[in-house]
Structure 1
């Protein structure tokens, strides 16, 4: 025999008495683990002659994997030291370390006897030396159970038969008390250990079968039961069903019993998973697939059906229960018969990031199984990092998303686009390009006045010029913005073939869809025209002022979801006004399912964030939506903006208001022509100005016109547009000045604001307390200040305002600028946005178009009703009075 100092430590360990350091239960369980090949990543480091290091990842049945570490050290002046460590709750002298020592000892075929001293460990009771330790086996079966009194009554009960396994030989228990002796089988029985196993059964609600079945069965039936059969008593001496017995199986397995299942037993308890997986498949487009699985006994089991079943089970605890153990397990159904024990903590950590999709009703249809994988969109790649599992694949997917979401240099529109984009608009164009490259929808949510329309038009033009956008683009807008989109498309992208699907004859235009690049319709018309829209497929669907569909249950919102489009884009300055449900509705319209169902979103995000202030959920929601929303506030891009931005808003006249305008136009045209024929153009100024005034009043509101033909006409397209505009501005916490030259129009606006419950003040020539009103506005007490152009055009300092609206623009640019300067003056710290509301196709638009070239005309029209400086041709007058 080799001297101890020269003997390899592994050989000493193999021949030592280390089993005496463990109690019987740990030693027994360690043997089962070692025999069950539940040890992975075994490392034996004997590079140091005086120190042996062992480590492994050990998985006990129905338990989580633990990391075990053992060190054996010798020195010349001290006894051998054995250091046992494990991450399990039991610490060092556990079944996991016993299994590790058994596995390591088997690696040495020439053990050298060694008595280990372990002063740092509590002394343990010496185990009886046995040739082979018995393994306690419970075999589960189902028996038919007939009641003696009612012979026709049949039920099924669960029976567990106990036996002991000695190295593959099975023997039933007996009542002999001799600690160690051979029996007829030739096996050296360890009766003391067998007795300990039998005693453990007393810790469970199991009773010997003969204690209860004899009360209900005839002698012939009793013969089916052996003395080693146990049943679960459900009360009144009656045994329980197999399903009730199955509820204690995981506890029996955890206690070390080996469970075997007869085919007729309704439940089979599987071993704990040896590994968990997340498999990712990149489809190469905007989609990727995720499969979840566990390895049990060499079999890969799909976890998605298991998780969906758990969520559908009302008994599954989604939140930790009071006094729940950290290592609590849940028996999850793999199929109709098999169940696998899974750690509750890990299950919850796995389900939580995927709830939006796991909790969603299957789209496979009734009677069909859901797909074996989760089908996710590219922006959801971040979810993979939240899963507590080993990731297989997906590296290329993450790299692709990183490239797509990386900050891009500002982009310029393709040649032929006639607008010069500001730097932040170029960045917006680059972001829209990212969406197109990824095949994604999104929300352009810049503040009002930052040019969202021109950015979208630049994107459409650029994609079309590159040949990536071949099908028509459908733009859906509020009625008041039809003219604005049409005019800006003509102005900035005149080569885009634009078709407006509006008006009484629009249905005849649907046959021409394929011949146009840009189609414009309205939300109110979607419901009426859906049968004409539904057959077509569009390259891009643009939803302007998308807050219009913030209620997903409206008809317009439902029709939008039914439109077939390769991509969808929402445009809104107010994606969130009242609650998170509005954001869900708009994002779901452009990327269906990206945030789960409305019900799931409310459960996961709205309620925790709005009612409980849950910051973790808020941060997760931010991560979910970040790649799909671009929002810049005016304050954010102020360095890129001029101190003053002018925005022209076109409004279309409709219905009776349009009819009134046309009727009045014909009458005034005849009147002007008669005056010019009789007196000449130079002497007909008063009649010309009166005719233009009446037409301008119709544009503002028919109630301003003191003619019988105007009575009873309550429609006012411009007033409706103003109210929508004010509602949006107020939601952005803007302070607004509204100018009009007609004090009666201000009265009408004031009445409408009162009906809308919008706080406001009004200043006209009759106002006595101008200073007090100005002070209130400057203090921010009211958001809207209505001002008569003549009374408030000069002499006021209203720097609290950051927005000016000219309801009926003053045609003299200098006078108009003076009014705008009430907000745009020294002391103003924010960019000022100036809106002009113009009725398209009317005298307002035509004078606006002439203004830069015909300053004399503007001077004449706007100088207090006189004809001083009036100088324009008959052709220009005819153009002013032309039909809409």
Structure 2
């Protein structure tokens, strides 16, 4: 059939026009009748794909011959058909999709079968994929039947197959395969399908991961000397389920809900059932390594636990000996990085990354070692799976579920860039957010204190705005104007100038605390924040109450300590350089000092300080997750009194901008982790402009 477009006849053929058509076989192209023929472009076969020479091919031939050609005589068009006419059948039914899973030749993988039929006729899968990839509107089968590809089910099928191909580097002529890590993606195939048939083992694993059939009542071993709360028992059952099926995951419970106990119970149960397996490797911040040994001795005394506190430089066999004689080996992130080979050379039953935000940088050596460790299952344990942005999320899942979120570059193209763009809004943003959420949810368990600990007393939070003294204000404004001019010239190339930019921001933040931090002690310049804090602590001491005092700047904490000495108010002090950390913590917990001065970094994890009921945050941070980690040292299980949190903010300074930015990120964090939506990106050039505006 021939139908080249002719602008002169765009409204229809002239009366008496002649059209010549050559019969075409199943895969042939219909050719034009010659240069003198009139052209036809209207009729029920509209929407065909025409070539420059006026020809159509493939399914468009069938549409032209079956739908357009018979209508032409009624419009006064005489048609001439050369050769034997082919009968085409239009399949008008909606697609019927069947999805199956069967054990694969690849260990712990399953073959994913997708079968599509229309009007009872099987549609060959590979040609269908190629047609969908080319965005063809129709497809012709080998028996000369044809079907429309406009049904929404085909669009959704293509989207899911594209995602599956990204995850497994799958080729159209190869069988599609899925692992339990991809249960979220499989569930979407399942939802699309009209009919399913699944291997029993796959069905059990996928249903457990998706929450359709919870792990059930998993008895806690008698060797665990603790009564697990219901949510802790559920977490233990979830971890045990993952471990038994060789699947990693992220335990992202809120701070203070007993993640360590849940992990220890899981290890204890695993060692009872498989005592001859290699030991578990736990990696934790240096300050928390000893805490694991203490908690294990308290809750799971039957476990043989070895802690490693030195490098293998002088003792190359240190790690191997510990592994040979232990059920659990606990080391620090620093030692894992320094002695990488000593750990990667050994087999482990599983890897547990405590405070897993320490491996959030995929470019770091620590992250690479965690990826390379020989453990069939890897768990990330953290109350803050996101601190700065989606890169944190990808980094964690790259360790515990490699391939789940595709490659780093692909993840950036598919999620980071679109969700970081203000142009992506409304339904499109919601759909992309939901897509990412569905991928990670089967492998992340998150419970907040509010959802599981109804008996926890309330936490009252307030922002206390502090007015700078006039001389302090003058110094601040002068410094701000100077640093603003410098920074705004540098942030267009933030990657190159990041250190200089952050140095300026840090200078302004320190100056908002106290001029003495920048300009040295002066009699004519005082710190309004310091004066207010001293008055508050003096009042609390008189009432017999106790407080935690947090700052990111140890130099300011030392100023606070000196001022407390002058007033005779007792305190304990903890920062990253503090030696005998456990002794300092015990002195506060068992003593009567009204104040505990803690650097934000040193106090972000490994502490339970329910003896205090007041928290002072002296300087805000644009990373709300890290700040909340510290604040919740006292608002956790075991607290019986209402907790009061006061954030001191210097009015009309960079601190107010930091607070606003932190609030924005906190909202987005809650949306992703606690309310099923998505977190923000790292600090950007626009964020910095807003801080200096």
Superposition TM-score tier, normalisation by shorter sequence: 0.5 to 0.7
Superposed CA RMSD:
5.5
Once the 2 structures are TM-superposed, how far is the Cα of residue 468 of structure 1 from its aligned partner?
A: 8.0
CA spacing shift, 1:535–1:808, aligned 2, 3 Å: closer
Residue 824 of structure 1 is matched in structure 2 by 612
| 2:88 counterpart of 1:280 | no
Once the 2 structures are TM-superposed, how far is the Cα of residue 477 of structure 1 from its aligned partner?
A: 2.8
TM-score in terms of structure 2 length: 0.54
Preserved contact between residue 220 and residue 265 of structure 2 (Cα < 8 Å): yes
Residue 833 of structure 1 is matched in structure 2 by 633
Pick from 64, 72, 76: which aligns with 1:252? 64
What are the Cα deviations for residues 583-617 of structure 1, in whole angstroms up to 9, with x where unaligned? 12212321122233334434444344443352233
The SS at the match of 1:569 is strand
Once the 2 structures are TM-superposed, how far is the Cα of residue 159 of structure 1 from its aligned partner?
A: 5.8
Preserved contact between residue 443 and residue 572 of structure 1 (Cα < 8 Å): yes
Pick the structure with more strand per residue.
Answer: 1
| Alpha-carbon separation, structure 2, partners of 1:812 and 1:558 | 38
Residue 293 of structure 1 is matched in structure 2 by 115
What are the Cα deviations for residues 103-139 of structure 1, in whole angstroms up to 9, with x where unaligned? xxxxxxxxxxxxxxxxxxxxxxxxxxxxxxxxx9712
Preserved contact between residue 442 and residue 628 of structure 1 (Cα < 8 Å): yes
Once the 2 structures are TM-superposed, how far is the Cα of residue 454 of structure 1 from its aligned partner?
A: 2.8
| Alpha-carbon separation, structure 2, partners of 1:332 and 1:774 | 82
Structure 1 unaligned residues grouped into runs of 5+: 1-135, 143-156, 163-198, 206-231, 263-268, 318-327, 645-750, 797-804, 836-884
Structure 2 unaligned residues grouped into runs of 5+: 1-20, 44-49, 71-80, 460-502, 518-522, 541-547, 572-580, 597-608, 617-627, 636-693
| 2:390 counterpart of 1:560 | no
Pick from 601, 625, 641: which aligns with 2:440? 625
Once the 2 structures are TM-superposed, how far is the Cα of residue 813 of structure 1 from its aligned partner?
A: 6.0
Pick from 175, 178, 181: which aligns with 1:371? 175
| Alpha-carbon separation, structure 2, partners of 1:591 and 1:137 | 57
Pick from 382, 395, 400: which aligns with 1:572? 382
Pick the structure with more helix per residue.
Answer: 2
Preserved contact between residue 23 and residue 30 of structure 2 (Cα < 8 Å): no
| Alpha-carbon separation, structure 1, partners of 2:124 and 2:26 | 27
**What does residue range 128-527 of structure 1 map to in structure 2 within 5 Å?**
138-140=23-25, 160=31, 202-203=40-41, 234=52, 245=57, 248-249=60-61, 251-253=63-65, 255=67, 275-281=95-101, 283=103, 288-295=110-117, 300-303=122-125, 306-307=128-129, 311=133, 316=134, 329-331=137-139, 342-343=149-150, 345-360=152-167, 362=169, 370-375=174-179, 377-387=182-192, 389-394=193-198, 401-402=206-207, 405=211, 406=213, 413-467=220-274, 470-500=277-307, 502-503=310-311, 504-505=313-314, 507-512=316-321, 513-526=323-336
| Alpha-carbon separation, structure 1, partners of 2:141 and 2:341 | 47
Once the 2 structures are TM-superposed, how far is the Cα of residue 460 of structure 1 from its aligned partner?
A: 0.6
User: Which stretch has the larger CA shift, 501-510 or 559-568?
Assistant: 501-510
What are the Cα deviations for residues 181-234 of structure 1, in whole angstroms up to 9, with x where unaligned? xxxxxxxxxxxxxxxxxx9974499xxxxxxxxxxxxxxxxxxxxxxxxxx985
User: Which stretch has the larger CA shift, 280-289 or 556-565?
Assistant: 280-289
Preserved contact between residue 254 and residue 448 of structure 2 (Cα < 8 Å): yes
Once the 2 structures are TM-superposed, how far is the Cα of residue 832 of structure 1 from its aligned partner?
A: 6.1
Tell me which of the two structures has the higher relative contact order, counting C-alpha pairs closer than 8 angstroms and 6 or more residues apart.
2
| Alpha-carbon separation, structure 1, partners of 2:451 and 2:568 | 30
| Alpha-carbon separation, structure 2, partners of 1:768 and 1:822 | 29
The SS at the match of 1:565 is coil
CA spacing shift, 1:451–1:357, aligned 2, 3 Å: same
What are the Cα deviations for residues 465-506 of structure 1, in whole angstroms up to 9, with x where unaligned? 233882321223334433333443344434323344541245
The SS at the match of 2:448 is coil
| Alpha-carbon separation, structure 2, partners of 1:814 and 1:616 | 52
* Count of residue correspondences: 476
| Alpha-carbon separation, structure 1, partners of 2:39 and 2:231 | 74
Preserved contact between residue 168 and residue 177 of structure 2 (Cα < 8 Å): no
CA spacing shift, 1:201–1:564, aligned 2, 3 Å: farther
Preserved contact between residue 443 and residue 569 of structure 1 (Cα < 8 Å): yes
Instruction: Tell which structure's C-alpha radius of gyration is larger.
Output: 1
| Alpha-carbon separation, structure 2, partners of 1:813 and 1:476 | 26
Once the 2 structures are TM-superposed, how far is the Cα of residue 571 of structure 1 from its aligned partner?
A: 0.8
